Structure 1
């Protein structure tokens, strides 16, 4: 099995350097790498070229059109039987391709997704952000969890498709705002077999501070409404949780401001929730510092997503604006 690894890139030369280094360590060697520079102002060509003697690697520069169409560009130039998509801020364990190859040979998946986690070298903030994106107390454990809720949708930070999937679907039709989930739903609808490979984990850096993390999650909340516009049945109860949590926080603030009798109940519920996050994160990360930061990251994750979700729900669904 020959893999084509496709990596869209936008103004992140240091990240692509780290990612490419991890690919030089792979135990399975039947693969090529395609880096698609999507109109970046900070060009990474020299860094990519420095790996020419270590990897079968190709570099392409194109005008900026977003990550979805950058991946399509990579599909068009790929030689592999199977295409693997990574985000540029991922680090890949040395046995990743070996694990994927063996699993695909046993299970014959047309498309797959894998989980993400925090590498030991990540900062405390990055580990806290990773926790908030994978915790059952925030996302419900729907991202790469064996017991995920509903139909499994691979995410583009760690996703693979067969050449046949690309040829029949035509790739991404959205370039951002939930493009990977839309693509996954369309793959399902065409009868292809999609599955989770639990052991095919990547270490996902995401954002390095909570401000950037807020902006990213606000965008994700808006993306969920964009997916709803294409597939109304894909809006589930779990997707409303961040918005309800955000409204609950606002209600708690109002009740406390006016010393309402229900304020004490709200405060108790919040205290329980905070303690659950703290001790769960501490158990996973073995660090009180990361556990404290996980509380902040979880609140940022939920409120940012909730506000983005409500913003586009109000604008695009209720008032039907484009």
Structure 2
């Protein structure tokens, strides 16, 4: 068995159906799928049973402990030479494993990740959130593109490792919140070859509403602060930018008390930035509604991440 695909699930049976359906169309067939039900009250075992004749499937139910331990449990049960984790809200294109095959043969990666893209069935809100998560104008970066700066950190919605990587690292150390970033740092420190495979993309739904999106990105910010606590030096000035943006936005009214010129200058810069978000989203998506929705999505992403990061970063100082 070359590939083991591991999917942690928590109360998302409908997403599992779409994910498994997409895996039946893979052009490469040498893989198994392990569904790890992480203490769900809405189980998906009946959905899994529908696909047993089309896929090599294993289903496990375990007490809830978070996505990190659920993936590690899947690693321990897997038979594949390479271990792949997807989030349950992903749809996998037919050529995913074929792209991985080619990249492994060419580059010999020990671990890899791929970007995400918007599927034609995604709502405008989901597409707007997907844009902000991938955009260089927010906290995105390589998630939706081929270019990157510095070394690559695979994300757990689309991550693969070799069995030898798992044997040495024992997988994820964090239960949740930036568990993939922490894992990537340890892979880098161990000297493994970790790469981006642009053609090995997935369609990642993310959340379905802005309120859910805020909670998600707030946890991302919290996770980055936790990573900094576990690995001193891994929090850079770029990770502070969302917090700086939030504090700068909140300070705009105060500038009016000092100088009208400073106030209008700050307000003009803020509006210019949002205009750039709108125009860039319009250029990328060719959809006016998605472009308009990208503006609040960007504000939610920056504020959620920035405040989540700041709250977690300040906790040790508040305790002291």
Q: TM-score, normalised by structure 1?
A: 0.96
Alignment length, in residue pairs? 320
**SS of residue matched to 2:65:** coil
Deviation digits for residues 165-216 of structure 1, max 9, x if unmatched?
1111111111112111111111111111101111111111000110000011
Deviation digits for residues 231-258 of structure 1, max 9, x if unmatched?
1121112111100110111011333588
Match status 1:215 vs 2:215: yes
In structure 1, C-alpha distance between the alignment counterparts of 2:258 and 2:127, rounded to whole Å: 37
In structure 2, C-alpha distance between the alignment counterparts of 1:122 and 1:5, rounded to whole Å: 24
Deviation digits for residues 271-291 of structure 1, max 9, x if unmatched?
211111111111111111000
In structure 2, C-alpha distance between the alignment counterparts of 1:314 and 1:292, rounded to whole Å: 34
Residue 297 of structure 1 is matched in structure 2 by: 297
Which consecutive unaligned segments of at least 5 residues does structure 1 have?
A: none
Deviation digits for residues 37-87 of structure 1, max 9, x if unmatched?
000011110001110001001100000010000001000110000001100
Which consecutive unaligned segments of at least 5 residues does structure 2 have?
A: none
CA 1:45/1:104 → structure 2, altered by over 3 Å: closer, same or farther? Answer: same
Preserved CA contact (<8 Å) 1:177 1:219: yes
The runs of at least 4 consecutive aligned structure 1 residues that moved more than 6 Å come to: none
Residue 168 of structure 1 is matched in structure 2 by: 168
Deviation digits for residues 117-141 of structure 1, max 9, x if unmatched?
2111100000000001000100252
Alignment map for 1:229-244 (pairs within 5 Å): 229-244=229-244
In structure 2, C-alpha distance between the alignment counterparts of 1:196 and 1:138, rounded to whole Å: 20
**What is the Cα-based RMSD across aligned positions, in Å?**
1.5
**SS of residue matched to 1:293:** helix
Preserved CA contact (<8 Å) 1:140 1:238: no
Preserved CA contact (<8 Å) 1:113 1:144: no
In structure 1, C-alpha distance between the alignment counterparts of 2:159 and 2:29, rounded to whole Å: 19
Residue 318 of structure 2 is matched in structure 1 by: 319
In structure 2, C-alpha distance between the alignment counterparts of 1:228 and 1:107, rounded to whole Å: 30
Residue 45 of structure 2 is matched in structure 1 by: 45
